[in-house]
Amino acid sequence: MSNIKRMTTCILIFGLIIGLTGCQATAGTPVKDLAIAGSTFAEPLYLKQFDAWYQKTQVKAVYGALSSSGALRALQDRTIDIGATDVLLTAADEARLPASVLTIPTVLGAVAVCVNLPGSPALRMDAALLSAVFRGDVKTWDDARIAALNPMVKLPATPIVVLHRADGSGTTNIFTTYLAATDQTWNDKIGAGSLVQWPTGVGVSSNAGMAAMIRQTSGSIGYLEHTFAVQSSLTPVALRNRSGAFVLPSVDSIQAAVPPDLPEDLRGTLLNRPGTAAYPIVSFTWLVLYKDQAYDGRTRERAAAIYDLVSWIIGDGQALAEPLQYSPLPDRVRKTAMSLLNQLSWGGKSIK
Residues 275 and 308 in one domain: no
> Based on the domain organization, do 24 and 128 belong to the same domain?
no
DSSP state of 202: E
The CATH number of the domain holding residue 311 is 3.40.190.10
Q: Are residues 175 and 133 in the same domain?
A: yes
Distance CA(271)–CA(174), nearest Å, equals 8
Q: Does 300 share its domain with 253? A: no
Q: Note whether 245 and 324 are same-domain residues.
A: no
Domain that holds residue 338: 3-107+283-350
Same domain for 230 and 198?
yes
Same domain, 202 and 266: yes
Per-residue pLDDT of the chain (352 residues; tens, 9 = 90+): 333 433 344 445 545 544 444 455 566 788 999 999 999 999 999 999 999 999 999 999 999 998 888 888 999 999 999 999 998 888 899 999 999 999 999 999 999 999 999 999 999 999 999 999 999 999 999 999 999 999 999 999 999 999 999 998 999 999 999 999 999 999 999 999 999 999 999 999 999 999 999 999 999 999 999 999 999 999 999 999 999 999 999 999 999 999 887 777 677 679 999 999 999 999 999 999 999 999 999 999 999 999 999 999 999 999 999 999 999 999 989 999 999 999 999 999 999 8
**Domain C-terminal end among 258, 281, 304:** 281
Q: Same domain, yes or no, for 88 and 145?
A: no
- Could you tell me if 42 and 120 lie in one domain? no
The CA-to-CA distance between both ends of the chain, in Å, stands at 34
Q: Are residues 35 and 155 in the same domain?
A: no
Q: Are residues 229 and 340 in the same domain?
A: no
Contacts of 113 (CB under 8 A, 6+ apart): 125, 130, 221, 222, 223, 236, 237, 239, 281
Distance between CA atoms of 50 and 42, rounded to whole angstroms? 12
- Check if the beta carbon of residue 325 is closer than 8 Å to that of residue 233: no
Give all strands (DSSP E) within the chain, no chain letters: 33-38, 60-65, 82-85, 101-115, 124-125, 161-165, 202-204, 220-225, 235-236, 238-240, 246-247, 282-290, 345-346, 349-350
Whether 125 and 244 map to the same domain: the answer is: yes
